Amino acid sequence: MSADLKKSSSNGSEKSLINEEQQAKISEIRRLIGPLPEKLAIYCSDAAIARYLRARNWNVKKATKMLKETLKWRAEYKPEEIRWEEVAHEAETGKIYRSNYIDKHGRTVLVMRPSCQNSKSTKGQIRYLVYCMENAILNLPADQEQMVWLIDFNGFNLSHISLKVTRETAHVLQEHYPERLGVAILYNPPKFFEPFWTVARPFLEPKTQNKVKFVYTDDPNTKKIMEDLFEMEKLESAFGGNDDSGFDVNKYAERMREEDKRIPAFWTKSEAPPEPMPTSSVDLNSFDSDASDSGKVSASHVSDSEGLISDKSVLVTKGSDNGNGSKELLYR
């Protein structure tokens, strides 16, 4: 395991060494999950497993269940295969994009503008959100594993609220991207947002709730949150900064197309020798949490290279990592 496995707070990155007990829990989860196909093995670095453990207060049973559900989801949903051209129509208004600046702690920043919603498709909206999350993670520096969300409520009204999308968004982010949020800045939310926030809060883990910060331009105390987090010269003027450039979908599209080219190389093992896996037919439904409850390892494993929700019998032919050589889900 990497000795610099870290834990980030809303104020930045704090490197903390994993003690022997925690390392033993990481190893136990590896044993319960068993060998994995290439992409899922790359995903399951020690740092990734530690995030699931932290999200479940280092409870091996709960963290294993959570991680197995994510592995099944990734095998079916294939988030690493989403490309710009598939989701470009969702991005046209700039409702979500990765900024070209980072915060003072080096964390990537996702800007979100709910009033710029241009789609009624829950599936399309979630697909684009996942694309943005994957892109933000892959662009994190080596000493960070969390990001910042800047949510601009300018022009927001009741017509932009969808509880269905809110529930699905909360589910995907909490269940499949644990410990990825450092802080979420809600910038100038309207007064009527408070009742909506009251409704939405129960869908969020208490730990996540505490990462949400309200900032108002007419409140000097909350404005200081922005000054503490960002270089104001680089921050967009919409958030009180000095950069007036704004969002240009054409420039952003060009940037995303270039970054998409980096994805395939990352999801191909190059640093660790493969461990042979037997060729066998596997059932995604067997990749559940029951094995962790009994301490037994399921004989079947998920393939990340094939398999759709409608066809859960897949063929595993690729090798897997032994765990020690798996890569963390970010570019070094």
Query: So where are the chain's domains?
Result: 20-77, 82-269
Query: Which pLDDT score, from 0 to 100, does residue 269 have?
Result: 64
- Which token pair is 200? 């939405």
Average pLDDT estimate for 158-179: 87
Taking 80 as the threshold, does the pLDDT of residue 21 lie above it? yes
With 50 as the cut, is the pLDDT of residue 147 above it?
Answer: yes
Give the right CATH number for 82-269 from 3.40.525.10, 3.60.15.10, 3.30.420.40, 3.30.70.360: 3.40.525.10
CA distance 230 to 147: 13
pLDDT value for 185: 95
DSSP string, 147-200: EEEEEE-TT--GGG--HHHHHHHHHHHHHHSTT-EEEEEEES--TTHHHHHHHH
Q: What is the DSSP string of 9-65?
A: ETTEEEE----HHHHHHHHHHHHHH----HHHHHH--HHHHHHHHHHTTT-HHHHHH
Determine the pLDDT at residue 93. Answer: 95
CA-based nearest residue to 303, from 37, 29, 34, 17: 37
Architecture of the domain delimited by 20-77 = Orthogonal Bundle (1.10)
> When comparing pLDDT for 289 and 37, which is higher?
37
Q: Are strands 313-316 and 280-283 parallel, antiparallel or unpaired?
A: antiparallel
Query: In angstroms, rounded to a whole number, what is the distance separating the alpha carbons of residues 138 and 133?
Result: 9
Average pLDDT, the chain: 79
Six token digits for residue 215: 């900032």
What pTM did the predictor assign? 0.76
pLDDT of amino acid 332: 30
Q: What pLDDT is recorded for position 293?
A: 44
Range from 2-6, 59-63, 269-273 carrying the lowest mean pLDDT: 2-6
CA–CA separation, 230 vs 233, rounded Å?
A: 9
Residue-wise pLDDT for 244-297, tens only, equals 999 999 999 999 999 999 999 888 865 433 333 333 333 445 455 444 444 333
Q: Convert the pLDDT of each residue in 177-232 to its tens digit.
A: 999 999 999 999 988 777 878 887 887 778 778 898 999 999 988 889 999 999 99
Quickly state the pLDDT bin for 69 (edges 50, 70, 90). very high
What mean pLDDT is predicted for residues 149-160? 86
CB atoms within 10 A of CB 221: 8
Look at residue 321 in the predicted model and tell me its pLDDT.
37
Q: What pLDDT, on the 0 to 100 scale, is given for residue 326?
A: 36
- Does residue 312 carry a pLDDT above 50? no
294-307 per-position pLDDT tens digit: 433 333 333 333 22
